[in-house]
Chain A
């Protein structure tokens, strides 16, 4: 009875809330007012049902939390899958085969979407170094992505340099900008750092937009060369497939690299820095240098992907590097689970592919997307897969050496 009352109240509240915007539509010039009362009914019924679902989900989350606290909960299926080679090796092999065969089976459109998704996977993995491992909140990641893309676009446009030559240059430029921007701001605390990076991101985009002599302004640079295969220029379809395999390769490289980094000396320093800065300094870790390495490495990845992006779309303009882009990449990292590589890959794939699956609801796509972001955060604040730390255990009673 109590639930029913709550649901009715929620429903009434949302009807009140959405009344002016959902029901009325005015045309101030011709002074016409249009009333759409049917919408009110939809909102009322929708809010009534959702109120039940919402409370059910929240209650479920609470049970999950208390079980985690007592420690008696069994490990989730996902965690078990990831920890037992018997389970994940065949799965991984199947996934790898499917990924390799994909361009033969899918249409060009689908391959293109997959390339985009893979670019974001790598970007998210790069940002994961900065945000997930080192705990430095960066809201202007797209700026480094832009640096890479424009490096290739400009070098190709003016000097005709090829994709493979610029790829390392792009990464280097990303890292350089990371260091340049990082040096003065890294002593700032969490949220301030976030805002400064947001500011830098916007500055770079606005400069690209307005400094027409340098970057050709808002109209961007077109006619960039696609990557060549041993000096051969491929057809459009051929180069798309080629690009797909390049991206698979780069993604594997990134996963390998970040995975090794995570448990390396510097990786452990990052994690320690994230957990407690002061304790970290007391242990003799050079705070500034460690942070700067993270910043530069993360930016290098963005630069690298920028080059790939420019090579894929053969056109760059500043509109591709807005704050929303940075927010999206950050959302992938947080949604997937900060610090967890599998989680971040999953988060990126979900965020890029979900809107594609929602294409049937084209209009409602971003609406659902925003709501899904809120929902996942509320129900699983730690992300889809929470990052697991390597734990060193002493085996009791086992004597000296293993």
Chain B
């Protein structure tokens, strides 16, 4: 039972991170129908920013909680800034271009950002400080669930709830839903579509940054390549849940996390990534629109 619970919470943690990144993919896809390949890199940049800021603050000798708060805030701010800039440079000039062009541009951006971080920082694995504090009374249960895992799960739940409320109840959220539904029509009724798209990138990038900082602190090391696999997995999660649907991305992340966790725990740890992709392929073959996605109607 303990083993099961360990895998359960391990999967939940992992899935939470996937969910945080997947939301960014799904929002962007919902609005401009683009697979934002550079999104994984934004997550990586978030983790690196937090590392740098935490390093400076530790040298200054600030208390642990303050370091966590400032590093997280800095990661969010800079990731959002990067997301915003990437959209302006690589995607905005391509709004009316053939559909594959922004995709290639995104792949180029992803290669550029990876190498930029490698050159600006280092190509080695860097140890990442334990930013998340240890809670005393949880010590006995450590084998089942660690403190950082609880933090990750809680932070994800909070972020997702916040995002859902924002989309549902604010004016800007309404504008986003309208743009996702029909961009041209939204433009006609006076929605500032450019601003909505920018905001989408900013929100998606911020959530990715939160995920990046939390998981980096949980695992304890980062490197400039971490964005790639995390990005692909998160995209898998987004497709799994039904791309374009925000609750779908969250659910997809969790399903993917659990699948990986249980499959590696009970079947074989060699094929960890194979399970993820196998799940994706099966879902797409039997339910192409994802778990929560609506089947697209084709107009003639």
The answer to whether B104 and A330 touch across the interface, beta carbons within 8 angstroms, is yes
The answer to whether B109 and A370 touch across the interface, beta carbons within 8 angstroms, is yes
Q: Within 8 Å of chain A (Cβ to Cβ): is B164?
A: no
The answer to whether B296 and A366 touch across the interface, beta carbons within 8 angstroms, is no
How many residues of chain B get a CB closer than 8 Å to chain A's CBs? 71
The answer to whether B105 and A198 touch across the interface, beta carbons within 8 angstroms, is no
Query: Which among A24, A191, A327 is the interface contact of B52 at CB below 8 angstroms?
Result: A24
Q: Mark B43-65, 1 if CB is under 8 A from A, else 0.
A: 00100110111111011000000
Q: Within 8 Å of chain A (Cβ to Cβ): is B9?
A: no
Q: Within 8 Å of chain A (Cβ to Cβ): is B270?
A: yes
Question: In A1-57, which residues have CB < 8 Å from any B CB?
Answer: 13, 16-18, 20-22, 24-29, 31-33, 39
Q: Within 8 Å of chain A (Cβ to Cβ): is B146?
A: no
Query: Which among B97, B111, B120, B232 is the interface contact of A370 at CB below 8 angstroms?
Result: B111
Q: Within 8 Å of chain B (Cβ to Cβ): is A207?
A: yes
Q: Within 8 Å of chain B (Cβ to Cβ): is A385?
A: no
Query: Which among A29, A185, A207, A330 is the interface contact of B274 at CB below 8 angstroms?
Result: A207
Q: Within 8 Å of chain B (Cβ to Cβ): is A200?
A: yes
The answer to whether A364 and B127 touch across the interface, beta carbons within 8 angstroms, is no
| Cα distance, A165 to B62, chains bound together (Å) | 69
| Cα distance, A207 to B127, chains bound together (Å) | 30
Task: Please classify how large the interface on chain A is, using the bins under 10, 10 to 19, 20 to 34, 35 or more.
Answer: 35 or more
- A16-B81, A21-B49, A377-B108 as given contacts; A131 in contact with B100, CB under 8 Å: yes
The answer to whether A28 and B270 touch across the interface, beta carbons within 8 angstroms, is no
Across chains A and B, the number of contacting residue pairs, with CB separation under 8 Å, is: 184
Contacts of A101 in B (CB 8 A): none
The answer to whether A191 and B112 touch across the interface, beta carbons within 8 angstroms, is no
The answer to whether A195 and B280 touch across the interface, beta carbons within 8 angstroms, is yes
Question: Chain A nearest CB: distance from B62 CB in Å?
Answer: 12
The answer to whether B82 and A28 touch across the interface, beta carbons within 8 angstroms, is no
- A32-B59, A202-B277 as given contacts; A190 in contact with B52, CB under 8 Å: no
Query: Which among B55, B74, B117, B284 is the interface contact of A28 at CB below 8 angstroms?
Result: B55
The answer to whether B271 and A206 touch across the interface, beta carbons within 8 angstroms, is yes
Q: Within 8 Å of chain A (Cβ to Cβ): is B147?
A: no
Given A192-B239, A192-B284, 15 other A-B residues pairs in contact with their CB atoms under 8 A: A20-B74, A21-B117, A26-B51, A28-B126, A33-B59, A185-B285, A188-B285, A188-B288, A192-B288, A196-B280, A202-B274, A210-B271, A323-B232, A331-B104, A334-B103
Q: Could you list some 22 contacts between A and B, CB below 8 A? A: A17-B81, A21-B45, A21-B52, A21-B121, A24-B52, A25-B122, A28-B126, A28-B128, A29-B127, A191-B33, A200-B277, A200-B281, A206-B273, A207-B274, A278-B300, A323-B232, A334-B103, A369-B108, A371-B108, A377-B108, A378-B94, A382-B101
Q: Which 4 A-B pairs have the closest CB atoms?
A: A26-B55, A373-B108, A370-B112, A381-B97
Task: Give the interface of A toward B (CB within 8 A).
Answer: 13, 16-18, 20-22, 24-29, 31-33, 39, 58, 61, 131, 137, 184-185, 187-192, 194-196, 198-200, 202-203, 206-207, 210, 278, 323, 327, 330-331, 334-335, 338, 363-364, 366-367, 369-374, 377-378, 381-382
